[in-house]
Structures are given as C-alpha cells and as structure tokens.
Copies of this chain bind each other. A is one copy, B any other.
C-alpha cells in the first residue's frame, strides 16, 4: 500500500517528456529499448540498490556514525550513476544509432534528447 503510493510519487516526480518524440522514433525502427538486451541485469542492479537504500535507513535508525552513513550514501549514489552511464551507452548504441540510420531529422531529435539527459546526469 505504502509502496504503491511511494512508487506513484516517484513516477510523478519524473520530468515529463514529449511522448510524440520517442513514439515516432520508436515507430521508425520498431525495435526494443536500448536496455532490453540486459533487462535482467538492470533489474538485479536496481534490487541491489534498493537493498542498499534500506540498509542506510537501518544505519540511521540504529544511530550509526554520520561519516559511515555518508560513505554508504556515496556508494549508492555511485551505483546509480553507473546504472545511468550504462543506460546512456545502451540508448546511444540502439535508439540513437537506429534513428540516425532512419533519417537525419530522427537522428537529430534523438541526439538532442540524449544530450539533455546527459546534461541532467552531469549537472546533478
């Protein structure tokens, strides 16, 4: 129950995107998403990260030392950034490359969209 609510909030917090953009481009190549080839790997990484986040809450609940909590938060942040970088590479290698082959306009739109996502990653 709580879980469902939290997840909804999380999804709502996401920056909205232009649906027409990727639907069109998806239509252009009819292929799966960039991460599809390693979906199980990504799910495993996310479950591990979820466990780490829960571990941090436990550390706080048990009054562990601030610096140890901080070290663990940095470790999780790093793990999330590694997931982001893997998603970017998969996206460039599939969606962007496919769009570039489909048409110049599709390629340009995908490059623009990917660049904005990379900027969000860097400008955290």
Interface residues of A (CB under 8 A from B): 2-3, 5-11, 13-15, 17, 22, 26, 32-36, 39, 42-43, 46-61, 63-78, 80-81, 83-85, 87-93, 95-97, 100-101, 107-108, 111-115, 117-124
Contact = CB atoms under 8 A, between A and B. Distances in A.
Contact of A7 (B6, B11, B58, B96): B58
A113 B11 CA distance: 32
Identical chains bound together, number: 4
Given A6-B47, A97-B107, A70 B87 contact: yes
Contact of A14 (B11, B33, B68, B112): B68
A66 B89 CA distance: 10
Given A55-B7, A60-B46, A75-B13, A22 B124 contact: no
